[in-house]
Amino acid sequence: MSPVLNGWTLVIGRWCDPCDPERSDDVLHLCEALSARYGQAQAYYYGAQGTGSAWLIAEQGAVVRRYCETDEGEDHYLTLGEPLPFERSRREALGLSTTWDAATETEEDEEEWALETTHMAPKVAAQLSISPFALTAETPTSGTGVLARTPRSGS
């Protein structure tokens, strides 16, 4: 866990992946609990080697949005909530409908959106909170980072 960075504490590691088949429910419940306590909690996955992106946004104890684009084939089952304003603005910039329905979207539109969202997690983070890619020596910092054990890390 990071020190407080511009008002946010980052928990970085594989366990936080909101679309991992083994942990997606655990991450969802943890974000709900943290957002009930702190107002907001977010989880992201970003595969820097082009393996996809995912985001989970929770506010006041409830999931607002979870979206995964990892080319795993089951991502659509994990989607929750309405698209974020940032998602809608990106679709509009691409010339895609901002109120999309997978049942009526063309294959080309689906492929274009999948390509866009594969790299979107850091951009969503930057819009809603803080992206680890945007950290600099000038980022306001307070406190101390700590090593945290996840619920399944053992004793």
Question: What's the confidence (pLDDT) of residue 152?
Answer: 61
Residue 74: how many other CB atoms lie within 10 Å = 11
- The mean predicted confidence, pLDDT, of the chain is 86
Question: What's the confidence (pLDDT) of residue 155?
Answer: 46
Confidence (pTM): 0.86
Question: pLDDT by residue (tens digit) across 26-78?
Answer: 999 999 998 999 999 999 989 877 788 999 999 999 999 999 988 766 777 78
Residue 9 φ/ψ, nearest 5 degrees:
-105, 125
Q: Can you read off the two tokens belonging to residue 33?
A: 């609990």
Q: Which helix H or strand E contains 62, and what residues bound it? A: strand 62-69
Q: Which helix H or strand E contains 29, and what residues bound it? A: helix 24-38
